[in-house]
Amino acid sequence: MDSRAESEFREFVESRSLALRRTAYALTGDLHVAEDLVQGALVKLVRRWHKVDNPEAYVRRTIYHDHASRWRRRKIVREDTVADLPDRSVGDGAGQVDDRLDLRQALLRLTARQRAVLVLRFYEDLPEREVAEIMGCSVGTVRSQTARALARVRVLAPELAADAALPTPEEASA
């Protein structure tokens, strides 16, 4: 790699690594695994830097595919359960924290593919077409997985649906 390409790569890593780690964390729910996924994707990118037209899309696709490979290999499903749901606070902003924690718990109980489609669609705000490219499936599959995942989150965390924190099926397909 020449010095110009190395400089471009360093600039890309410095400017996009935080956003990529956030996405990977939202996919995995584990900071260490997320960092490993991003690092692995960047290693793959540096090898192909001169051939890749859209480095961010390449890294996101790599993160998703590497994560999918991990969960396909892993047969044990991890669930975090609690005996009682925590009380919800009001008026001081803690309710937003509670919503985020509820959403995180619900996301961790989805299949990895459902979690990925929700993260890519709503956290990353990517269009269905781009999500389909990243996940290597059709737009119709993205739509159906989105609908199933949202329905499952509504069952797992009904308080989020009541607070309008979740999009309706109509909003999700818009």
Contact in structure between 142 and 132 (CB atoms under 8 Å): yes
Hey, is 136 helix, strand or coil? coil
Token pair for 29: 């729910």
Top pLDDT among 11 and 107 is at 11
Largest Cα–Cα distance of the chain, in whole Å? 58
pLDDT of amino acid 92: 56
Q: How far is CA 159 from the centre of its chain?
A: 22
Identity of the amino acid at 105:
Q
Tell me the per-residue pLDDT of 77-118, one tens digit each, with 9 for 90 and over.
555 666 676 666 555 555 567 777 777 888 888 888 898 999
pLDDT of amino acid 38: 95
Identity of the amino acid at 45:
L
The mean predicted confidence, pLDDT, of the chain is: 83
pLDDT at 12 over 90: yes
Quick count: other Cβ atoms within 10 Å of Cβ 119? 23
Token pair for 30: 């584990």
pLDDT at 41 over 90: yes
pLDDT at 173 over 80: no
Domains of the chain by start residue, with CATH? 3-73 (1.10.1740), 94-173 (1.10.10.10)
Hunting for tokens 């690092």 — which residue is that? Answer: 39
pLDDT of amino acid 68: 83
Instruction: Tell me what percent of the residues of the chain surpass a pLDDT of 90.
Output: 43
- State mean pLDDT over 8-35: 92
The pTM score is 0.55
Identity of the amino acid at 108:
L
Distance of alpha carbon 58 from alpha carbon 16, whole angstroms: 12
pLDDT of amino acid 11: 95
Instruction: Tell me what percent of the residues of the chain surpass a pLDDT of 70.
Output: 77
Token pair for 27: 């996919």
Specify the DSSP class assigned to residue 88. P
Contact in structure between 116 and 27 (CB atoms under 8 Å): yes
Name which of 61-65, 68-72, 154-158 the model is least confident about: 68-72
- State mean pLDDT over 37-49: 93
